[in-house]
Structure 1
Amino acid sequence: MTTDADVAVIGGGPAGLSAARTLNQAGIGSVLLTRESSPGATKPCGGFVPVRCLDEFGLERFSGCYEVSGVRMSFPGQEPCVVEFDEPVGYNSTRYDLGRALLDWAGRGECQVRLDTVVGAVTEESDRCSLRCHCRGEHYTLHVQMVIDASGVNPVSLRSGLVRRRLDAGQLGYAVQYQMRVPSDAKDLEPLNTFLYGRDYSPGGYAWVFPRRREAAVGTGGLVSRVRSSGRSLHSYIDTILSSVEPVKAQLQEAEVTRREAALLPLSGVVRPSFSRRVLLAGDSAGQCSPITGEGIYYAMAGGQMAAEVAAEAVKDSGLSSDQLRAYEKRWTRTLGLDLKWGLWLQKRFTRSGSGTSKATFLSSERSKRVVAEMLVGRRSVLSAMLSIAPSYVRSHLD
């Protein structure tokens, strides 16, 4: 068997770069393949990085990130509210700035980084994987022992017929986002991340406003199936928010739209399988994204790290048995699975109601609102939040 590297990582987002870092630390020869010239630069994303990303993964505060000190929330049938914290709960950033920081954080070590590289297909063979690649007019085939596919919600390995079927319209979310900038003489935007739930703001999802001092990401989205059936464009929801929802209207009335962008994202909860004979899925590829907030950066970094840990163990042991690779799925579902399961339940609970009445009666107290705010910014897991707000219901539904 001849291979060019032990492990290929497809995708230069948080999952891929987290995997590359972990493989470097384990001394495993790897190659990171990303279609972008600067990892993550073109990925539409709200850009919220929870503090736990810095605390758990050793990521330092980086240039171009802006503190978030609180949350503004609006739910159907409830008065809008603001929950503030005594210390930063996270940072908002563009994906360009985050990508540069993660590339530095990942380091090079044993990992080759190949930019502007498109992986067209992945093939599993008896003793290796083959990847058909294209880079700046050159076509070549790369041979590796294993692949960590972190190439996004429509991963190349699934397009190659590996692992499982692709997500359907009831599992995929579709989001549209405006990048906006206020005039140079305007006040800095409040360091509060805004979450707007209800059908006034999205077709069965939620809308958000994430400020970066003088810039903001303003977006909305929902399940593809609901977006299709709503009969209304997502751009119209954003335009309505900008023209009628305070204080967003007042803060951004003079702002210019610098870019409009759109993306698919997994809102499916736990999806199995996430591995095949020689391929592990991580990040959006594995559905590792919060169904209630759409936040995927922390989940992607965790998933990428766990995939790389299992891959490193398998390469060192020269054993790629199904039991060994299944350990990855067991590990990540044990660590992240309950968050995704209850996030999916809560998503349906929050978005099922119309504009006038809300079934989210557990949000009526100030304590409950703070608990939900802590969940939205990653200070509390979804399960912890639900156990705090509705303990008897949750315990009766735990498997």
Structure 2
Amino acid sequence: MTGKIYDAVVVGGGPAGATAAEDLARLGRSVLLLDKAGRIKPCGGAIPPRLIREFRIPDYLLVARARSARMISPSERRVDMPIDGGFVGMVDREVFDEYLRDRAALAGAERRTGSFTAVTRDPGGVATVHYAAAEGAGMARTRAVIGADGALSAVARQEVPGSDRMRCVFAYHEIVRSPREGAADFDGSRCDVFYQGRLSPDFYAWIFPHGDTTSIGTGSARKGFALRRSVGDLRAATGLDAVETIRREGAPIPMKPLKRWDNGRDVVLAGDAAGVVAPASGEGIYYAMAGGRFAAEAVEAFLSTGDARALAGARKRFMKAHGRVFWILGMMQHFWYSSDKRRERFVGICRDPDVQKLTWDAYMNKELVRAKPAAHVRIFFKDLAHLLGVVRP
């Protein structure tokens, strides 16, 4: 077989895939970015300041700036968590993802529209990525493949052992026209998070502002839970059932990183395909882009050395940077989201100024805060008191 051989084919053009494609293209590698047409992932759209800095996100992509979060308990108690002197950026994934894909193309990546079908290899070991497109079947030969094609990644299922055991929350949201400021208790600079078993038995529901539009959604790993009905109930309870619905979206969201991200030969995973969505919060954009960057660096090392063991570096580096946070968030979700009694106590803990300060510091900077040991000690004893029921929620 003759024809062009790419250094890398990136399957999936979300934040992980687009970041990986851009990084490799900027290193001078020949890259093909293969993405489905018209796919928008259901997402609250929150991006922290660290992402904005590290990945050079222009201000015009921020459709809103959230300056506080409000936690709502099963008993309807509301706890406000203001961000002292900062904000969380909110983006529209339809616009944000396309910007990232365009930026990858400007860096030198070639874009094609198509749906991945398979990877084959010729006798010399060169991989061929096969895909379906509007004009018919297509293929691209390549030295390496980055699978960034979502939580139910076809690349992962074919190439990476154990990927079929990924744990997921199924998320659904409705993008609606934002009401007037103050109407229906709506605040365009505040994210509302509902910890109520009726809206999600094991996760949470949300109302996140996006400027002219708003995301109203929920998620659950429980089979048979009626996500659409839950969102309908939330809209009715908050007075948002009368506003215009623009679009509806649903998708699985992984809740735990896979134990392996590469096939030991020429494939490595990134983003949702690798399972890098934070437990408890469901946050994925920053971790997807960080994972895409680590995947690009691993592929660059593989292409430079010919040593396929370099591909394992993507997961090693990611888990070294973020593994501890994922473990803590996973434990938090397992315990605090398991019953309305515990949810009530969890929201109660969020009233504490120490908890609020350290929570925002960790979220905004994407690392555990170690600079205030006295505050950590106070939080530990307060948390223990809540766990034992010594204090009222």
Q: Cα offset for 1:200?
A: 2.8
In structure 2, relative to structure 1, the CA distance for the partners of 1:129 and 1:70 (3 Å cut) is: same
| Rounded Cα–Cα distance in structure 1 between residues aligned with 2:259 and 2:182 | 48
1:60-89 CA distances to partner (integer Å, 9 max, x unpaired)? 223462211111112457832112224442
1:178 aligns with 2:195: no
1:261 corresponds to which residue? 249
Distance 1:58 1:238 in 2: 34
State the Cα deviation string for residues 269-312 of structure 1 (Å, max 9, x = none).
x3211111110000000001111111110000000001001111
Match of 2:115 in 1: 118
CA contact (8 A) 1:288 1:296 kept: yes
Mark the CA change 1:75 to 1:46 in structure 2 (over 3 Å): closer, same or farther.
same
Letter paired with 1:335: A
Partner of 2:163: 166
Give CA-to-partner distance per residue, 1:200-250, whole Å, 9 cap, x none: 321211111111233210000011xx243xxx4112222222222xxxx24
1:43 is matched with: 41
One of 53, 73, 79 as aligned partner of 2:51: 53
1:372 counterpart SS class: helix
Name the CA shift for 1:70/1:186 in 2 (closer, same or farther; >3 Å). Answer: closer
| CA 1:385–1:205: 2 relative to 1, 3 Å | farther
Q: CA deviation at 1:27?
A: 1.0
Q: More deviation in 234-243 or 363-372?
A: 363-372
**Aligned pair partner of 2:235 in 224, 229, 242:** 242
Give the partner amino acid of 1:24: A
Taking the aligned partners of 1:111 and 1:262, their CA distance within structure 2 comes to 29
TM-score (norm 1): 0.84
Give a deviation string over 1:335-390, Cα, whole Å, max 9, x none.
Answer: 12222221111111220122587453744523224433555x54454676998333
Give me the identity figure in percent: 26
> Which segment drifts farther, 128-137 or 76-85?
76-85
Distance 1:385 1:144, change over 3 A: farther
Q: Does 1:273 align with 2:260?
A: yes
Question: Which residues of structure 2 form unaligned runs of 5+?
Answer: 385-393
Superposition TM-score, scaled by structure 2 size: 0.85
Q: Does 1:365 align with 2:363?
A: no
1:285 counterpart residue number = 273
Listed as ranges, the matches of 1:58-77 within 5 Å are: 58-63=56-61, 65-75=63-73
Tell me which residue corresponds to 2:380: 390
1:192 aligned onto 2:180:
no
Question: Separation in 2 of the partners of 1:119 and 1:52?
Answer: 32
Q: Are 1:275 and 1:326, in contact at CA under 8 Å, matched by a contact in 2?
A: yes
Q: 3-state DSSP class of the match of 1:352?
A: coil
Give CA-to-partner distance per residue, 1:161-193, whole Å, 9 cap, x none.
x11233448x11101111111467986843111
Contact 1:122 1:156 in 2 (8 A): no
Match of 2:389 in 1: none
CA RMSD of aligned residues (A): 3.0
The answer to whether residue 285 in structure 2 is matched with residue 305 in structure 1 is no
Counterpart Cα distance in 1 of 2:286 and 2:372: 20
In structure 2, distance between residues paired with 1:253 and 1:221: 19
Equivalent position SS for 1:236: helix
| Alpha-carbon distance in 2 for matches of 1:321, 1:33 | 23
Residue-pair matches, total = 374
Q: Where in structure 1 are there 5+ consecutive unaligned residues? A: 395-399
User: How far apart in 1 are the matches of 2:42 and 2:223?
Assistant: 18
Partner of 2:323: 337
Structure 2 Cα separation of the partners of residues 186 and 195 of structure 1: 17
Equivalences for residues 213-224 of structure 1 within 5 A: 213-223=211-221
8 Å Cα contact 1:21-1:106 kept in structure 2? yes
Deviation at 1:4, TM superposition (A): 2.0
- AA aligned opposite 1:327: G
Report the Cα distance in structure 2 between the residues aligned to 1:129 and 1:176, rounded to whole angstroms: 36
Amino acid at match of 1:119: F
